[in-house]
A and B are shown apart, each in its own frame.
Chain A
Amino acid sequence: MTTNHQIIFKARPEGWVTPDCFEMREVPLVEPAEGEVLVRTIYMSMDPSMRGRMDAAKSYAPGWVLGEPCKTRLVGEVTASRHADFQQGDLVFGKVLDWADYSCVPGKAIRKINPAATGLPLSYHLGALGMPGMTAWVGLDLADPKEGETLFVSAASGAVGQIVGQIAKMKGLHVVGSAGTDAKVDYLTGELGFAAAFNYRTAGDDILGALQKTAPQGLDVYFDNVGGRVLEAALDHANQRARVVICGMISQYNLSREDTPGIRNLPHINRKRIRMEGFIVSDHEDRRAEFEAEMIAWLKSGAITYRVDVAEGLENAPAAMIAMLKGENFGKQVVHVGAEP
């Protein structure tokens, strides 16, 4: 094969992301230079945080460059290597590779993975065993959960939420989740064993009522993936000394400041002595080995299960990202770009 398909960041979105922000480009396949590795994409991760890469404003990770390929976490196979640590056929993971059939990157941009050793699906390296799983694991640790407490997690069937709820349950918490369809709600209380769950869309204006019904004893921990009205209801329903972990606020990412309905009950933070904390998993890289050991054991024993939503084909990645930002995915969203070896 001598050509490569890439999806280029063509235009910055104003508000909602649209397919016009992207463009597929066919380019010649480059050969790796000294120290570089050519990686064939197998699965690409679609993460809400990518929305932040599309804005001009500075964030914790570098933004995408207009006219250049969009970037993502992916798992792939080394097809050519001029780096001593990698050889053809190696399965690898990288954090900042291209939305493309192939990425040519320095060896330090990737690390080897060994799915054969765990028997777990390759795509899990982008989910339960990857950034979202570790985000859930680290974030829950920051929340200092105690047995018998009540935890609420939003976007609970999503990449991070699934793991948050299952770990919290193992720690003896009463776990409540919200999601955007009845099927997701059934999945939470059925397969994942949440104590209760509700559909925030059908709850509409009365999210607080849904929380009161499903968590009558109030909230000790809120793991926030969505922000906005759900956060406001969680603050209303929080107990004294509640911990709010801000993992993400997907409901806010496509809104301009002027269009954002602000949070109107922050005095609760003072009155209830709430601790509200943002975190980024990459600050906790030193704990990766500890996380992987624990998560692999949980996944292999079936103590934690994980749902992945697979979109087929690189060309469908833009649509998959837009759908994910709207909550149309069911489980961790990945794009299947090339065949597993």
Chain B
Amino acid sequence: MTAINRQIVLKSRAVGWVTPDNFEMREVALPEIGEGDVLVRALYMSLDPYMRSRIGTDRPPADRIPLGGPMEARVVGCVAASRHPDFREGDQVFGSLDWADYSVAAGGKGLRPLPDARQGGKPVPLAWHLGALGMPGMTAWIGMQVAQPKSGETLFVSAASGAVGQIVGQIAKLMGLRAVGSAGTDAKVAFLTGDLGFDAAFNYKTAAPDILSALRDGAPDGLDIYFDNVGGALLEAALDAANLRARIIACGMISQYNLAREETPGVRNLTHINRKRIRMQGIGIGDHDHRQAEFLEEMSGWLASGQVTYRVDVCDGLENAPAAFVAMLKGENFGKQVVKVGSDF
């Protein structure tokens, strides 16, 4: 065990676009653990768009990462030392921990063992526990339930090759919906219609400014569900293409997170919500913790049978996490973004 721990801390609060300069690597002494605590060595760390709101000023101060404090992430790791009866050295665990080589889970709080999930008979890649089997997967699963999909309906999901979008589209297919996705490169679009079996997909960057036409080509019967991960111009087009009684799941709005209010091109056609009786619902999986076991069971089944698969984009090295985070916010990742912090053995 090294005596030194590397952490990435928030150096300055982000205004407008985040840059790697908002973060700083710090070396600190490896902490001693007290009675009941668990020391976890990070293997994979999740980078998620919502983290942008925790380093800016949009959230109430209590929800923000404090300046100089370690960044927080969902982590898959290995127990390095334990004074907690439920965890032993060498256990693989999931927890909400620091952007760091090592973190202390005080009292074992938030730590849980990894579920036994397999595909093709072999354990799924560890990073999937941060994606398909983690918060993004459960977000997709909950969001799809809130959307009340019916067989034969059309679903559109933006950021469709991302952490949540991949799962949304594949669940929609399993439920008998027409699944249409948007993504920001032709390679992602090919992945959606090829590997994931989407019925149609388009590149929103090359389609701009006429996103609505691209959407109508992919969804000639209009949209019954829009699973929104991006907001902005795509939301506006989806409202235009929405059918009567469409459901919009407001999962995320990544196109908006780095814009000041004054710079934001607002959504100008919300009158459709009234005229088309649209229900737009924001979701947060924190409201659905009690359904975790049910989710894991269903998702594990889909993964085992190969009905759902998952693409991960792995960035190597803790020191590269800030750059990977900024790249993800710009859509440069391809699949769920994780950082490989340590070796799996």
Number of A residues, CB within 8 Å of B: 35
Contact B266 A261 (CB under 8 A): yes
Q: Cβ of B273 and Cβ of A275 under 8 Å apart?
A: no
The 8 A CB mask of B42-73 against A (1 = contact, 0 = none) is 00000000000100001100000000000000
Q: Which residues of A contact B235 (CB under 8 A)?
A: 266
Would you list which residues of chain B between 29 and 49 have a CB under 8 Å from chain A?
Answer: none
Tell whether, in the assembled complex, residue B274 and residue A278 are in contact, meaning their CB atoms are under 8 Å apart.
yes
CA distance A209 to B131 in the complex (A): 41
Which of A107-115, A155-163, A247-255, A332-340 sits within the interface? A247-255
When distances are taken between beta carbons in the complex, the residues of chain B under 8 Å from A201 are none
Rounded to whole Å, the gap between the CB of A112 and the closest CB of chain B is 29
B120 interface residue, CB < 8 Å from A? no
Looking at the complex, which one of B270, B274, B275 makes contact with A263 (CB distance below 8 Å)? B270
B269: which of A257, A265, A272 is its contact (CB, 8 Å)?
A: A257
Q: A231-B270, A273-B287, A275-B280 are in contact. Are A265 and B261 (CB under 8 A)?
A: yes
* Range of interface residues on B (Cβ < 8 Å): 35 or more
Question: B252 in the interface, Cβ–Cβ < 8 Å?
Answer: yes
Q: Are B53 and A249 in contact (CB under 8 A)?
A: no
Closest to A242 in B: B282
Q: Which residue of A lies closest to B53 (CB)?
A: A271
Considering only residues 257-279 of chain B, those with a C-beta below 8 Å from chain A are 257, 261, 264-279
Chain B residues within 8 Å of A, Cβ to Cβ: 53, 58-59, 231, 235-236, 244, 250-253, 256-257, 261, 264-284, 287
Across the interface, name the chain B residue whose C-beta is closest to A251. B271
Most B CB atoms within 10 A — which of A262, A263, A265, A278? A278
A304 beta carbon closer than 8 Å to chain B: no
B-binding residues in A (CB < 8 A): 52, 59-60, 227, 231-232, 246-249, 252-253, 257, 260-280, 283
How far apart are the CA atoms of A319 and B53 in the complex, in Å? Answer: 48
- Cβ contacts under 8 Å, B267 to chain A: 262-264, 266
Query: Nearest chain A CB to B57's CB is how many angstroms away?
Result: 13
> Which chain A residues lie closer than 8 Å to B278 at the CB level?
277-278
Contact across chains for A277 and B282 when beta carbons are under 8 A apart: no
Given A249-B270, A261-B266, A276-B273: A266 in contact with B279 (beta carbons within 8 A): no
Instruction: Check B266 against A263 for contact (C-beta < 8 Å).
Output: yes
Chain A contacts for B269, CB-based, 8 A: 257, 260
| A266-B235, A266-B250, A270-B253 given; A227·B271 CB < 8 A | yes
- B279 and A278: CB pair below 8 A? yes
Q: Which residues of A contact B236 (CB under 8 A)?
A: 262
Give 29 pairs: A residue, B residue, CB < 8 Å, sorted on A: A60-B275, A252-B270, A252-B271, A260-B268, A260-B269, A261-B266, A263-B270, A264-B266, A266-B256, A266-B267, A267-B231, A267-B253, A269-B281, A270-B251, A270-B253, A271-B53, A271-B282, A271-B284, A272-B282, A273-B287, A275-B279, A276-B273, A276-B279, A277-B277, A277-B280, A278-B272, A278-B274, A279-B274, A280-B275
Contacts of A253 in B (CB 8 A): 271
**Cβ-defined contact, B284 with A273, below 8 A:** yes
A267/B271 in contact, CB under 8 A: no
- Residues in chain B near residue A269, CB distance under 8 A: 250, 280-282
Q: How far is the CB of A245 from chain B (nearest CB, A)?
A: 9
The answer on a CB contact under 8 Å between B266 and A262 is yes
